[in-house]
Amino acid sequence: MSPPRILMCPPDHYGIEYEINPWMNRSLGAVRELAFLQWRALHDELVSLGVAVETLAPQPGLPDLVFTANAGLVFKNRFLSSRFRYEVRARESPFFDAWFAANGFAVEHMPDTMFHEGAGDALFCGESLFAGYRTRSDAPAHQWVGRALGVRVLPVELVNTRFYHLDTCFCPLAPGEAIYFPEAFDAYGRKVLSNHVPKLIPVTEDEANRFGCNAVVVGKAVVHNSRCPRLAADLTAAGYRSIEVELDEFLKAGGSAKCLTLRLDGEEAAGWKQGERQEDGRHEPAEYR
Ligand code: ARG
């Protein structure tokens, strides 16, 4: 069985150089050495879980390039490149596009009249693509993606600017199962989630503010920021293994574990990935340890 593949970008040029979300404060800055140690710890943890981590070369002047989740949306061998809301991040796209083209993906672009921030705002859970909109991505872009991929899109509005990307407040664990921060959504959004995800595990406000929802799922292992004891206990009770890695230097930019990664072979919860496994005649549960 081929190992899970994840794209990361080392934080050589990471820093808080502009403010495009409520977490960012230029005067606070980030401690580069600490950021490097924390990034390394996440990287090494994923490697120890059996992940093949690919790395994108860091680029001077692109402090947020570390957040590879926003590169675009991966669907089988297709890479739908993001249309970033802010120009400071749109400059990352040529580097992401080049990496994906060089690594055998078909690179596709959305119309430039739309905004879409990739896997940060679009997450498969089962057959459906859950799509966060308002702060960064917009609803027309999600509809465009749904048509391009031929999948059902379930748009949910992100009503709290601190949870500006869907992956800051929602994390699919498996088809039909996810963690989420209820207050990041309105009543309608919560209904969409509960109607389509039978097992929803709520995360407390304190732990959502530690970006507990911004987790990386590898088989039954869930890697998330430190000091989320309630989440860790709830994951354990649900049959998962919670692994904490302190990523506070990245919280200063409004990111954590999930934002620092982009799954290249399909997220654990993606229905299309499960389908592929069956076509391949592989029926093993997604466990790597
Ligand atoms: N500073 C980055 C931004 O505001 C953080 C991105 C976090 N990424 C994520 N997938 N939530 O765009």
pLDDT digits (tens, 9 = 90+) for 36-93: 999 999 999 999 999 999 999 999 999 999 999 999 999 999 999 999 999 999 999 9
What per-residue confidence (pLDDT) applies to 273? 86
**Residue 186 within any structural domain of the chain:** yes
Name the closest-CA residue to atom 9, ligand 1: 259
**Residue 283 within any structural domain of the chain:** no
What per-residue confidence (pLDDT) applies to 284? 44
**Residue 38 within any structural domain of the chain:** yes
Q: What angle do CA 19, 24, 25 make, to 5 degrees?
A: 85
**Residue 129 within any structural domain of the chain:** yes
**The domain spanning residue 131 has which CATH number?**
3.75.10.10
**Does residue 259 carry a catalytic annotation?**
yes
- The per-residue pLDDT for range 204-243, each reduced to its tens digit, is 999 999 999 999 999 999 999 999 999 999 999 999 999 9
**Residue 26 within any structural domain of the chain:** yes
Catalytic hit among 116, 165, 169, 228: 165
- Dist. CA 52 → ligand 1 center (Å): 23
pTM for this entry: 0.95
Q: What is the mean pLDDT of the chain?
A: 95
Q: Work out how many domains the chain is built from and give that number.
A: 1
**Residue 89 within any structural domain of the chain:** yes
Segments forming the whole domain that contains residue 31: 5-270
**Residue 222 within any structural domain of the chain:** yes
**Residue 165 within any structural domain of the chain:** yes
Q: Which residues line ligand 1 (CB under 6 A)?
A: 20-21, 24, 64, 67, 69-70, 89, 120, 165, 167-168, 253-255, 259
**Does residue 213 carry a catalytic annotation?**
no
pLDDT tier for residue 289 given thresholds of 50, 70 and 90: very low
- Dist. CA 259 → ligand 1 center (Å): 6
Atom of ligand 1 at shortest distance to CA of 121? 10
Pairing assessment for the beta strands 5-8 and 52-55 based on DSSP bridges: parallel
Amino acid at 59: Q
